[in-house]
Amino acid sequence: MNNSKSGKGYQLRSGLFVLPEQEKRFVHLTAELQRSLPARFVMLADAAGQVIAARGEYNDANLVMLGSLAAGDLAASQEIARLTGEYQDYQLILREGQRSNIFIAEAGSHLILLAQADKETPLGWARMFILKTARQLAEAARQGTPSAQEIAEMEEELAGALSEEDEQNLAELFGDALDGLWSE
């Protein structure tokens, strides 16, 4: 799910910069959660719903839509908790289904963790592993946050990566795509 053209990292819609070391840690932690829970599916997204990592069976679900819905669900639940005086860090939402349970957890201020586990997985066990992983993900996000100077340098490098010819080709591609869309 790497959005980076350079080896220095990339910025998510939520504003979080993800460095290569952080991304490796995110992938490792989601893989470890999938294995130890065990989970059918694990997804990590930012607070805006942009998917960072996904593992397991998601039955051709649209991950962009799933990330956005999970972010919206968590944001709504957090606001309900604030209004009722029950807000705390690392909130967890449980959706009980017929064959599986879906957990959506806050992983710090920038990340959302979604895990789907079989009904046979004890809820307390799942909750324990998911919250532990959420805290580890939040710590990984905090540890690698680049300085304002590093962010400015990365943005400059990315801005300079597109030549005028690339920009023209990109504009033509978008134009052709829009023309094709309207001619159907």
Name the residue ranges covered by the structural domains of the chain: 10-143, 148-183
C-beta separation of 91 from 24 below 8 A: no
Q: For position 122, what pLDDT does the model report?
A: 95
For residue 107, list its beta bridge partners. 111
pTM, two decimal places:
0.74
**Average pLDDT score over residue span 63-71:** 95
Topology of domain 10-143 in CATH is Beta-Lactamase (3.30.450)
Q: For position 4, what pLDDT does the model report?
A: 45
The encoded tokens of residue 105 equal 């957890």
Q: For position 15, what pLDDT does the model report?
A: 80
Residues 6+ apart with CB under 8 A from 72: 49
- pLDDT bin (cut points 50, 70, 90) of residue 178 is low
